[in-house]
Every structure is written in C-alpha cells, then in structure tokens.
C-alpha cells in the first residue's frame, strides 16, 4: 500500500510539472506572436511615416547628395543649378529663347528652336546655340542625374529629301544637341538619351504662328532618378 501511494504521488507530481511546462511554452509562443505582430505594425507605420515625410519635404533625387547650409536647410544640387541657370538667362537676355520649368520628373530646360538653335526646317546648330549649350553643359556637369533630350516640332508638315516628316526632323535635332553636349560639353554619353516626338507633345495649341514657335523646341530634362528615363521617355 505504501509503495502504491508513493508511486501515485510521483506520477501526480510529474503530471503537474508537465502541465506547468506546457503552460509556460504556450505563454512564450503567445508572447512571440504578439511581439512579431507589433514589429510588423511598427514597420508599416514607419513606412507610412517615411512616405509622408518624403511628400512633405520633397526627398532629394536618388543620385544626388544634398548640402546642409547653416540654417539646417537641405539644399538640392539640381534646384541650385537650375537657379543659377535662371540667373544666367536673365543676365544674357535669353529668357525668351530658353525657359526652365519644374515637372514631376525633374527640371526641364526648354530651348526654342527658332532664332537660337536651328534655322527653320534644319537640324544644323547655329553659332548662337553654342553659348546656350555650353552653359547647359556646365549645369549638367554639376549633377550626376540622367538626361533626356527631346526634339519637338509644330504641326506643319515637312517633306524634304533629308527629313521626310517631322519625326525625322525632331529626332535629328535632339541627336544633334546630344552630340554637342558629349563632344563639346564633356557630358558622358551614357547619361544622355535622345528622342524625337514630332508634333505629338505641344506645349500650347498649334493655332497661331507664335504658339507654333513655342512648340518648335528641344527639351533637356534633367531627371530626378534613373527610373524616370524609362518612365517618362515612353509617356
């Protein structure tokens, strides 16, 4: 009888220990699941916060490093170069022929073809284009961003042996600007892409001579990121 009672008590003690151990393992698993879920929530909140801050403060371009001035304000090198180009245009009186605008993809330098770059129906650079393109090259050398060079025309058709349509003319003008920036401006060719859009992307309606003159242009788009070269090049 004594041995039977001792054996029974021993089994009861073992069972109690196993139950306690199982409860402890269950609590640890529950704690691990709770910590993991909290970590996932925090990551989601952090991602949302980061996106919100990027929208509010306009994060720096992917390839550029910002400079912090004495006031603690971060200066975007691309915006800084665009401001310097604006000052150059004001000093030289070229605001009517060269315009700088800010778009989602980056900074766009719009060069009107007539008077500054090309003669009507031609893709040969005029001597007056060198001053403008040399300064544009100076801006491009100061930043590492990819550059998209876009040729545009008005809606008046062209039919010459050299340029059967506006597609050939716009592409030739963009390529000519690209070649100048590489050969004379010292810009690495791998940063540049040249495309021709003919009359498919006008700035203003082609309903007057002055509007058509604005649409005859070469846009030099300094892109914020390398992904934009594909994204906006195929809009």
- What is 126-152 written as a DSSP string? PTTHHHHHHHHHHHHHT----EEEEEE
- Claim to verify: residue 52 and residue 118 sit in the same structural domain: no
What is the spatial distance between Cα 131 and Cα 80, in angstroms, rounded to a whole number? 20
Q: Which two tokens stand for residue 230?
A: 């594909």
Of 3 and 154, more confident: 154
Distance from C-alpha of 126 to C-alpha of 132, rounded to nearest angstrom: 11
Q: Decide if pLDDT at 5 tops 70.
A: no
| Between residues 149 and 143, the one the model is more confident about | 149
Same domain, 106 and 33: no
101 and 39 part of one domain: no
**What confidence score (pLDDT) does residue 143 get?**
86
Would residue 111 count as lying in a domain? yes
Position 67 in a domain: no
Question: What range defines the domain where residue 176 resides?
Answer: 76-231
At 102 the pLDDT is 84
What is the share, in percent, of the chain residues with pLDDT greater than 90? Answer: 40
Give per-residue pLDDT as tens, 157-190.
Answer: 999 999 999 999 999 999 999 999 999 999 999 9
Q: Classify residue 157: in a domain, yes or no.
A: yes
Residues 164 and 50 in one domain: no
Q: What is the CA radius of gyration of the chain?
A: 32
1 contacts: CB under 8 Å, gap ≥ 6: none
Q: What is the pLDDT of residue 49?
A: 43
Angstrom distance (rounded) from CA 194 to CA 208: 28
Selected residue with higher pLDDT from 98 and 216 = 216
Whole-structure pTM value: 0.64
Look at residue 193 and tell me if it is in a domain. Answer: yes
Task: Indicate whether 65 belongs to any domain.
Answer: no
Question: Do residues 86 and 193 share a domain?
Answer: yes
User: Rounded mean pLDDT of the chain?
Assistant: 77
How far is it, in rounded angstroms, from Cα 189 to Cα 210? 34
Q: 114, 120 in Cβ contact below 8 A? A: yes
pLDDT tens track for 8-34:
555 555 566 666 666 677 776 666 666
Residue 70, domain member (yes or no): no
Q: What is the pLDDT of residue 59?
A: 39
Same domain, 139 and 214: yes
Give dist(CA 200, CA 150) in Å, integer. 12
User: Does the residue 71 lie in any domain?
Assistant: no
- Tallying the residues shown for the chain, one arrives at 235
If one counts the domains in the chain, the total is 2
Residues 104 and 47 in one domain: no
Q: What is the mean predicted confidence (pLDDT) over 112-125?
A: 88
Question: Residue 218 belongs to a domain with what CATH number?
Answer: 3.30.1330.60
Asked if pLDDT for residue 89 goes beyond 80, the answer is: no
Do 1 and 88 sit in the same domain of this protein?
Answer: no
- Residues 6+ away with beta carbon under 8 Å from 60: 66, 74, 76
What tokens were used for 160? 């010459």
Summarize pLDDT for 59-73 with one digit per residue, the tens.
Answer: 334 444 454 444 444
- Based on the fold, state whether residues 120 and 214 are members of the same structural domain: yes
Q: What is the pLDDT of residue 116?
A: 80
Please give the pLDDT value at position 227: 54
Residue the block writes with tokens 């879920």? 37
Residue 13's pLDDT is 58
Mean pLDDT confidence for 111-126? 89
Q: Are residues 52 and 84 in the same domain?
A: no
Min mean pLDDT across 132-141, 146-155, 181-190 is at 132-141
Rounded CA gap, 198 and 163, in Å?
Answer: 11
Looking at the structure, tell me whether residues 108 and 198 fall in a common domain.
Answer: yes
DSSP secondary structure letters along 151-215 = EE--SS----SS-SSHHHHHHHHHHHHHHHHHHTT---GGGEEEEE-TTSS-SS-SSSHHHHHHH
Judgement on whether residues 210 and 107 belong to the same structural domain of the protein: yes
């Amino acid at each position: 009888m004594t041995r039977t009672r001792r054996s029974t008590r021993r089994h009861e003690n073992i069972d109690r220990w196993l139950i306690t151990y199982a409860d402890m393992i269950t609590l640890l698993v529950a704690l691990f699941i709770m910590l993991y879920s909290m970590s996932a929530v925090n990551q989601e909140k952090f991602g949302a916060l980061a996106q919100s801050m990027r929208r509010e403060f306009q994060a720096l371009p992917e390839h550029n490093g910002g400079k912090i001035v004495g006031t603690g304000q971060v200066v975007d090198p691309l915006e800084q170069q665009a401001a310097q180009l604006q000052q150059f245009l004001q000093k030289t009186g070229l605001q009517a022929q060269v315009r700088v605008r800010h778009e989602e993809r980056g900074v766009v330098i719009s060069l009107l073809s007539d008077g500054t770059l090309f003669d009507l129906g031609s893709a040969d650079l005029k001597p007056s284009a060198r001053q403008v393109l040399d300064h544009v090259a100076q801006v491009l050398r100061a930043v590492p961003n990819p550059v998209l060079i876009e040729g545009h025309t008005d809606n008046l058709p062209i039919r010459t042996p050299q340029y059967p349509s506006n597609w050939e003319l716009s592409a030739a003008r963009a390529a000519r600007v690209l070649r100048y920036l590489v050969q004379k401006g010292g810009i690495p060719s791998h940063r540049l892409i040249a495309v021709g859009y003919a009359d498919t992307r006008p700035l203003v309606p082609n309903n007057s001579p002055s509007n058509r003159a604005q649409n005859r242009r070469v846009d030099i788009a300094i892109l914020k990121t390398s992904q934009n070269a594909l994204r906006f090049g195929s809009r």
